[in-house]
Amino acid sequence: MTDFENLRHSSAHLLAAAVTSLWPEALPTIGPVIENGFYYDFDNLTVSETDFPKIEAEMKKIVKDWKSFEKIEIDAKDAENTFKENPYKLELIEDLSDKEEKITLYKSGDFLDLCSGGHIEDPKEIKYFKLLSVAGAYWRGSEKNKMLTRIYGTAFPTQKELDEYLEQRALAEESDHRKIGKDLNLFVFSDLVGKGLPLLTPKGSVIRRELERFVVDEELKRGYQHVYTPSLAKTELFKTSGHYPYYKETMYPVMKVDEDELILRPMTCPHHFMLYKSAPRSYKELPIKLAEIAPQFRYEKSGELSGLMRVRTFILSDSHIFATKEQATEIIKDVIDLINFLNGKLGFEVGKDYRFRLSLGKRDDEKKFYKDDKAWDFAEKVLRDVLKDIDAPFFEAPGEAAFYGPKIDVQMKKVNGTEETAFTVQYDFVMPKRFELKYINEKGEEVEPIVIHRASIGAFERSMAFIIEKYKGNFPTWLTPVQVKVLPITDRNLDYANRVAKILRDNNIRVEVDERNETLGAKIRNAQNEKVAYMLIVGDKEEKSDAVSERGRSGKDYGVHPLEKFVEDIKKEIEEKSIN
């Protein structure tokens, strides 16, 4: 990407020149290079994507007269005079004059801009560019400042590279879970409800429910004990845990009612600690693995919200494992195995779709990391040894640990190629002290357990976003909201279609009948747009023989089968959670 920086920076100049030529009242502010392109922010400008052809044409026209990027060094005073009608540039000049003696400008054609340099030699090379989108952005990124108009664009040295990039971008846009979620009617937002608070529709809720039951059932099988604890607690609880000062920024405000001060929880751990503490514990019971489908509340800034990926309340597949130090290795191994199993079933392959990050502490940074060198050494070794032992793909990240111990982060690869921490396995030797957690060991002594905090598929909202993007809405059958759509060829076959649907429904298959008075072609197209897993076409021929004509969502014709056989096959596919 670095190779293209000068080209893209130069393109930003050209964009500003074209915009101010077309709309002389527009005030250019800043225009940096970003990943895969550039943008320029303007005040006093109202444009939409429909204006892009006009702006692009103006850019092409202007660049013809540009010979070079000419560097000009002047005094701050002169610079202020040059930009006296643009308060944004004046603010930048003021900042610069604190640090530099001279202010640098660059001139190309008639266009002059405040700029520290980094251009291509020949402006004629700005040939293969494209404006991409327009958005609002606060001046200097602060909500307290004015909202400006940001135009995004990109540029490449060749048409081929530009085309390839635009194609890849279109693909990424197509698999954006926000777009698919809207097209398939999986979730909606409401201004009256609030930002970052998604409402799952009946269809989106099918995916959520199937995921939840899948995770709970598998965890129960593996000895986890699922519990239900309240979404809120007295502020005191989070002061004891230390979350209150530490997470305060993203915690919802305290609610004072009568004698109590309550707060929505940003974490489940303190609640599970209270359950652990509600009875005396013996080494014979350990490890105790409390798990919960746990509602959590964090107030993300509105600029950080994004569909289901980042929300203001989410449900985590959470767990806290109370154990002896000696059990730590085995437990971490089991946890990673569970993570690989669950994610594998969902189609996410370790090493391909995600890898692990071993986040370590720093012994000398006592502010950021709890001081206990021996505990850190031990815990870090446990985590590293497990990752090595099972040959897991991972890298180390010194200084990325939590205050209370090292952790293994699950790093999920996104469609756009970037990596995101999906969730975490946390070794904790601090909270047990804070909450005075104890168990009786074999010698009858009261000692402290360790705690492993872990998610297994992360927040359900975010998992759904990853799943939607991965499958582009073509979900495995067990997760597909409408698994079968029955399409009667004529109204004559409506009764049979409904009989077929009833049999499927009795077998716990999610089915709909397209009863509309439409052509079969229209019904098929509609079912494909809805991305149902299977279409069953039923006409006179099928009706006579208790059969169905089966098609996949891609349109593939699987031929005519006895209904019984179809039911058997799809039940097996759902039962096995097959990916195909």
Q: Which positions lie near a copy of itself, rule CB under 8 A?
A: 143, 185, 188, 190, 192-195, 197-202, 204-205, 208-209, 213, 216, 221, 225-234, 236-237, 240, 252-253, 255-260, 262, 264, 270-271, 274-275, 277-279, 290, 295, 297, 299, 301-302, 312-313, 505
197 or 522: CB nearest a copy of itself = 197
Is the backbone peptide bond immediately before 287 cis, with ω within 30 degrees of 0? yes
Please identify, using beta-carbon distances, which residue of 297 and 378 lies nearer to a copy of itself: 297
Shortest CB 206 distance to a copy of itself, Å: 8
Provide the minimum distance between the beta carbon of 33 and a copy of itself in the complex, in angstroms, as a whole number.
Answer: 30
- CA 243 to chain centroid, in Å, comes to 24
Is the CB of 114 or the CB of 430 nearer to a copy of itself?
Answer: 430
Contact 476, 580 (CB under 8 A): yes
We find the least distance from the C-beta atom of residue 511 to a copy of itself, in angstroms, to be: 12
Q: How far is the CB of 106 from a copy of itself (least distance, A)?
A: 38
Residue 237 CB, shortest distance to a copy of itself, in Å, is 5
Report the nearest approach of a copy of itself to the CB of residue 223 (Å): 10
Of 45 and 267, CB closest to a copy of itself: 267
On the CB side of 219, how many CA atoms lie within 13 Å of its CA? Answer: 28
Instruction: Write down the least CB distance from residue 247 to a copy of itself, Å.
Output: 14
Of residues 300 and 448, the one with the C-beta less far from a copy of itself: 300
- 24 φ, ψ (degrees, to nearest 5): -60, -25
Q: How many CB atoms are closer than 10 A to CB 442?
A: 9
Least distance between a copy of itself and beta carbon 276 (Å):
10
393 close to 356: Cβ distance less than 8 angstroms = yes
CB of 202 to a copy of itself, least distance (A): 4
Please state the length of the chain: 580
For helices 202-221 and 328-345, give the axis angle rounded to 10 degrees. Answer: 150
Cβ(553)–Cβ(484) below 8 Å: no
Nearer to a copy of itself, 39 or 238 (CB): 238
Least distance to a copy of itself, CB of residue 474, Å = 22
Q: Specify the 3-state DSSP secondary structure of 27.
A: strand
Cβ-contact 234, 260 below 8 angstroms: yes
The C-alpha atoms of residue 548 and residue 487 are separated, in whole angstroms, by: 10
Cβ closest to a copy of itself, residue 435 vs residue 466: 435
Q: Residue 32, preceding bond cis, omega within 30 degrees?
A: no
Paired residues of 106 in beta bridges: 71, 113
The Cα–Cα gap between 428 and 369 comes to 12
Nearest to 444 by CA among 295, 290, 283, 577: 283
Instruction: Judge whether 93 and 57 are in contact, CB under 8 Å.
Output: no
Q: For a copy of itself, give the closer residue by CB, 291 or 536.
A: 291
Distance CA 272, CA 472 (A): 37
Cβ pair 312, 298 in contact under 8 A: yes
CB of 244 to a copy of itself, least distance (A): 13
- Closest CB to a copy of itself among 175 and 205? 205
Of the pair 17, 237, the CB lying nearest a copy of itself is at 237
Of 531, 494, 529, 532, nearest to 513 by C-alpha is 494
Give CA–CA dist 151/65, Å, rounded: 23
| CA 198 vs CA 19, 268, 531: distances in Å | 37, 21, 22
Q: Which residue's CB is nearer to a copy of itself, number 230 or number 398? A: 230
CA atoms of 490 and 223, how far apart (whole Å): 53
Which of 81/302 has CB closer to a copy of itself?
A: 302
**Cβ of residue 305: shortest distance to a copy of itself, in angstroms?**
11
CB 4 → a copy of itself: shortest distance, Å? 37
Q: Which is nearer to a copy of itself, 23 or 297 (CB)?
A: 297
* Helix, strand, or coil (residue 540): helix
The whole-angstrom distance between residue 108's C-alpha and the CA centroid of its chain comes to 41
Residue 461 parent element (H or E): helix 460-471
Residues 6 or more apart whose CB falls under 8 angstroms from that of 388 comprise none
Distance CA 75, CA 77 (A): 5
